[in-house]
């Protein structure tokens, strides 16, 4: 959330959230993003977490900076 609009791949998210634990599968990120989306059910919040096809995810609140893939 400190880098709105910046896309992160699954490996980067795993490293930042779960640390260097090699036993955590990259699909864990997908499952947790799905859970977050279910929580963000109020109108307008569903677009906060965006999928960057073939790459990963980005946090994009309204009026955020243009999206980047780094």
Residues 8-29 as b/e (b if ≥16 CB within 10 A, e otherwise) read bbbeebbeeeeeeeeeeeeebb
Report the C-alpha dihedral over residues 62, 70, 3, 61, rounded to 10 degrees.
10
Does any domain span residue 1? no
Digit-by-digit pLDDT tens for the chain (70 residues) are 677 789 999 999 998 888 876 688 888 899 999 999 888 878 778 788 899 999 999 988 776 544 455 5
Tell me what pLDDT residue 52 has.
93
Does any domain span residue 31? yes
Q: How many domains does the chain have?
A: 1
Does any domain span residue 69? no
Tell me what pLDDT residue 35 has.
92
Per the structure, the complete domain to which residue 10 belongs is given by 6-64
């Amino acid at each position: 959330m400190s880098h709105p609009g910046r896309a992160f791949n699954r490996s980067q998210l795993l490293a930042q959230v779960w640390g260097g634990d090699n036993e955590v599968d990259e699909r864990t990120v997908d499952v947790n993003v799905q859970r977050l989306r279910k929580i963000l059910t109020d109108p307008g919040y569903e677009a906060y977490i965006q999928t960057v096809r073939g790459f990963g995810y980005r946090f994009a609140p309204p009026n955020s900076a243009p999206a980047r893939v780094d």
